[in-house]
């Protein structure tokens, strides 16, 4: 059985409310706490979210799928997932390989992934783009960017 | 007249004018990079002011502030990434206009509205500092709580057809705002043992993720863009008819920005969202909002630039910094041995009037900088889509990393990107999440502070006249939105 978008949204809201309530219940008690307590507002939010989620679910019961329930093709979601993985790899790689190399790799791979054929132009653009960003952030704005193992070894 | 002379002397006796020009250029360009907030842009220049005279130092930093608040709207319109928190409301219609090939027009409206807002705020600062300062002092925790609730109440009208889903999204934003150290007892909440989450999640990380990263995730799976017409890559300033149309939203933005600015903590973000909402309510074409309405760009841009001037009211009058940027400016004043307060106007009139003159010049320079840099910016975002996606992600990640030099923040941005993508999938507006994140802390901390001060009596919110007034306005807005949604639903079913 295929869930409608609204049903899935309502279910997600209820699950999130339950999980959040559980996490709020684990908040440490403090003798400095006020009357409401550190968990007071979170529990109120969880309850409200749960109720709203149930209302969304109740509304969807018996209602037919509408035109707005049309889903984008799975391929589009998979493309998005691929890009997300590339970004995740960048985040993981940056502290090890350093900002310059990681950013160059990000520009290069994302450009190719988004449909540009791999060629000298892409590599040069990635190299120049990464260098320019490094100059702006590291030199102009004084942000301490990760140098990477290779620069550390050279130093 | 004497004040004008003082301002003129202060500005022309040293390097004040070049310092202002430099400040505006720096602020505009720095805050066009996502993640660099106005306060960061100002703080980066703060060390350089040690060796400067007081007037050039203060006007340079105020120039950065003016430029920064404007600069944040450039990526908001062009790449769906608010450069600053206050530019988040500009994304809604600014980016839609860009998608319709009207980037030049959107940027022109934003530029002119920012200029009008900045100059209007300056006039208020000069003329009404004393009465506006009283408004600032009248705000107590119950009033701040009510102000936050008023901000949250606009979720209903910004939910694009489903108040219920909008409320759920708003609660999710509020939940994100509860991450970090509890404002009253100091115990960690939802940090899962991670030190990185102790100070909470910065709203800008959520905004960048929800807007920019989710947009790139959606774009990578969609067909290539159509080739852009050369005429669409130029800055277009509003003509006479458009100027007439924008008068009302700009006036709304100016009034809301004036009031929000002089309330410490109110800030440009809340002002921009409230102005957007009210502009929509009073517009002859409310249906255009969210689909590329010029009024939807004018109102928030005017509001957040009025704030740049009126936020100085509590700073100069009482030494209360109403925002992070005002706090940096306070630091600069103290560095030069200038203590803000009523005596500042007597003992250092040259600095105060120099600041007023500097703000005027900063607004004019902002216009000139905008005229020069915007056309190349539009050209830049019309490059082939694969390159653009890659560069936007690289700039976004670099900007985010530069906030706290934290790789963990990049992970938060990616998570927010997934959240934004999910909201798109379910057809839910992401604005309520942003409002929840921005206002959550303010609402919770002031709610609990109020109850502590009143020994747990909830009537405190109704006994305080400002709080009562704001809560009533919030209730009216909420009911109005629900009734409107009901009417629209009934019309659709007929």
DSSP B65-86: HHHHHHHTHHHHHHHS--SSGG
Q: What are phi and psi of B410, to 5 degrees?
A: -65, -40
Sorted by where each begins, the domain ranges of chain A are 5-69, 74-154
Contact A32 B418 (CB under 8 A): no
B207 vs B215: CA distance, rounded Å: 12
- Above pLDDT 70, what percent of chain A? 91
- CB B328 within 8 Å of CB B42: yes
| CA-to-CA dists, residue B241 to A19, B244, B245, B294, B319, angstroms | 53, 5, 6, 12, 43
C-alpha distance from B141 to closest chain A C-alpha (Å): 15
User: In whole numbers, what is the pLDDT of chain B averaged over residues?
Assistant: 84
Q: Is B188 helix (H, G, I), strand (E, B) or coil?
A: strand
Which residue of chain A comes nearest to B451, CA vs CA? A35
Whole-model pTM above 0.80? no
Mutate to test the interface with A, among B48, B168, B417 (most CBs of A within 10 A): B168
Please give the structure tokens belonging to residue B168.
């759920």
Per CB-CB distance under 8 Å, the chain B contacts of A26 are: none
B453 vs B141: CA distance, rounded Å: 9
Buried b (16+ CB within 10 A) or exposed e, B55-91: bbbbbbbbbbbbbbbbbbbbbbbbbbbbbbbbbbbbb
Contact B394 A45 (CB under 8 A): no
C-alpha distance from B384 to closest chain A C-alpha (Å): 9
Task: Quote the pLDDT of residue B2.
Answer: 67
Mean predicted confidence (pLDDT) in B107-120:
93
pLDDT, tens digit, for every residue of B296-334? 999 999 998 998 888 888 788 777 776 778 878 888 888
DSSP state of B35: T
Contact A110 B389 (CB under 8 A): yes
The dihedral built from the CA positions of residue B113, B30, B84 and B286, taken in this order, carries a sign that is positive
What's the number of domains chain B is made of?
A: 1
The residue assigned the tokens 């790449």 is: B79
- Cα A2–B215–A114 angle (5° rounding)? 95
User: In whole numbers, what is the pLDDT of chain A averaged over residues?
Assistant: 87
The residue assigned the tokens 């507002």 is: A41
| CA-to-CA dists, residue B310 to B120, B124, B260, B359, angstroms | 9, 7, 8, 11
Which residue of chain A comes nearest to B456, CA vs CA? A35
A17 vs B256: CA distance, rounded Å: 35
Mean predicted confidence (pLDDT) in B169-186:
92
pLDDT, tens digit, for every residue of B478-488? 887 777 777 76
Answer yes or no: is pLDDT of B208 > 80: yes
Task: Quote the pLDDT of residue B52.
Answer: 81
Which residue of chain B comes nearest to A83, CA vs CA? B217
Which residue of chain B comes nearest to A103, CA vs CA? B394
Per CB-CB distance under 8 Å, the chain A contacts of B224 are: 115
Buried b (16+ CB within 10 A) or exposed e, B386-422: bbbbbbbbbbbbbbbbbbeeebebbbbbbbbbbbbbe
Cα within 13 Å of Cα(B112), Cβ side: 23
Buried b (16+ CB within 10 A) or exposed e, B475-486: eebbeebeeebe
Task: Quote the pLDDT of residue B109.
Answer: 94
- Look at A47-51, B232-236, B294-298 and tell me which has the smallest mean pLDDT: B232-236
Q: What are phi and psi of A64, to 5 degrees?
A: -85, 160
Of B164, B405, B444, Cβ closest to residue A55: B164
Listed ranges B28-42, B124-138, B195-209, B376-390; the one with the highest mean pLDDT: B195-209
- CB B308 within 8 Å of CB B266: no
Query: Residue B226's pLDDT band (boundaries 50, 70, 90)?
Result: low
- CB B254 within 8 Å of CB B117: yes
Please give the structure tokens belonging to residue B35.
């993640």
B72 vs B70: CA distance, rounded Å: 5
**Beta partners for B478?**
none
Query: What are the residue ranges of helices labelled H in B283-311?
Result: 294-310
Full domain range(s) for residue B329: 2-493
- CB B78 within 8 Å of CB B377: yes
Contact B175 A23 (CB under 8 A): no
B413 vs B104: CA distance, rounded Å: 29
Per CB-CB distance under 8 Å, the chain B contacts of A129 are: 390-391, 394
Q: How many CB atoms lie within 10 A of CB B10?
A: 27
Give the A:B interface size as CB pairs under 8 Å.
182
pLDDT, tens digit, for every residue of B157-170? 677 667 888 889 99
Question: Where are the strands (E) in B178-227, listed by range?
Answer: 180-181, 188-189
- CB B256 within 8 Å of CB B89: no
């Amino acid at each position: 059985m295929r869930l409608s978008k609204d049903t899935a949204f309502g279910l997600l809201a209820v699950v999130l409310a339950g999980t959040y309530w559980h996490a709020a219940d684990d908040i440490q008690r403090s003798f400095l706490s006020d009357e409401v307590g550190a968990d007071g507002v979170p529990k109120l939010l969880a309850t409200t979210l749960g109720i709203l989620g149930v209302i969304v679910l109740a509304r969807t019961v018996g209602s037919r799928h509408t035109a707005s329930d049309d889903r984008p093709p799975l391929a589009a979601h998979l493309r998005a997932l691929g890009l997300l993985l590339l970004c995740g790899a960048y985040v993981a790689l940056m502290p090890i390989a350093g900002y310059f190399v990681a950013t160059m790799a990000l520009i290069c791979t994302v450009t190719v992934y988004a449909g540009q054929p791999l060629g000298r132009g892409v590599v040069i653009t990635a190299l120049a783009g990464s260098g320019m960003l490094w100059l702006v952030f590291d030199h102009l704005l004084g942000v301490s960017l990760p140098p990477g193992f290779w620069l550390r070894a050279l130093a | 007249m004497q004040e004008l002379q003082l301002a003129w002397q202060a500005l022309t006796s040293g390097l004040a004018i070049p310092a202002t020009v430099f400040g505006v250029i720096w602020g505009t360009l720095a805050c066009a990079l996502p993640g660099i907030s106005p306060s960061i842009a100002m703080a980066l220049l703060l060390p350089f002011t040690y060796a400067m005279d007081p007037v050039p130092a203060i006007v340079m930093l105020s120039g950065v502030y003016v430029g920064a608040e404007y600069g944040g709207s450039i990526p908001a319109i062009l790449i769906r990434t608010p450069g600053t928190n206050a530019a988040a409301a500009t994304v809604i219609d600014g980016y839609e206009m860009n998608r319709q090939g009207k980037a030049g027009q959107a940027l022109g409206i934003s530029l002119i509205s920012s200029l009008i807002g900045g100059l209007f705020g300056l006039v208020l600062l000069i003329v009404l500092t004393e009465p506006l300062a009283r408004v600032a002092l009248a705000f107590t925790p119950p009033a701040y709580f009510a102000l936050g609730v008023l901000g949250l109440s606009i979720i209903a009208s910004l939910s694009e057809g489903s108040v219920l889903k909008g409320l759920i999204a708003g609660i999710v934003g509020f939940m994100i705002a509860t991450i970090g150290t509890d404002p009253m007892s100091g115990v960690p909440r939802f940090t899962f043992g991670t030190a990185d989450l102790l100070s909470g999640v910065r709203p800008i990380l959520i905004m960048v993720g929800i807007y920019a990263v989710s947009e790139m995730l959606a774009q990578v799976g969609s067909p290539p863009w159509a080739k852009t017409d050369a005429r669409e890559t130029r800055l277009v300033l509003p003509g006479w008819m458009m100027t007439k149309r924008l008068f009302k939203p700009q006036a709304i933005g100016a009034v809301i920005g004036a009031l929000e600015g002089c309330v410490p903590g109110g800030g440009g973000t809340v002002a921009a969202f409230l102005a957007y909402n009210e502009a929509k309510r009073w517009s002859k074409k409310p249906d255009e909002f969210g689909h590329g309405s010029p009024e939807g760009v004018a109102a928030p841009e005017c509001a957040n630039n009025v704030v740049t001037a009126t936020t100085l009211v509590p700073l100069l009058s009482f030494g209360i910094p109403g925002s992070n940027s005002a706090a940096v400016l306070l630091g600069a004043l103290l560095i030069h041995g200038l203590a803000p307060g009523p005596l500042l106007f007597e003992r250092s009139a040259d600095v105060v009037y120099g600041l007023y003159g500097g703000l005027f010049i900063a607004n004019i320079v902002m216009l000139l900088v905008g005229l020069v840099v915007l056309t190349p910016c539009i050209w830049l975002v019309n490059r082939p889509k694969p390159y653009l996606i890659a560069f936007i992600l690289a700039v976004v990640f670099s900007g985010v990393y530069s906030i706290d030099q934290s790789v963990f923040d990049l992970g938060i941005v990616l998570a927010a990107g997934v959240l934004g993508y999910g909201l798109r999938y379910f057809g839910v507006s992401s604005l309520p999440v942003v409002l929840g994140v921005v206002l959550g802390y303010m609402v919770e901390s002031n709610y609990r502070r109020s109850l502590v001060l009143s020994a747990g009596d909830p009537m405190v919110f109704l006994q305080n006249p400002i709080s009562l007034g704001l809560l009533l306005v919030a209730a009216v807005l909420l009911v109005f939105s629900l009734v409107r949604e009901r009417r629209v639903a009934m019309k659709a079913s007929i």
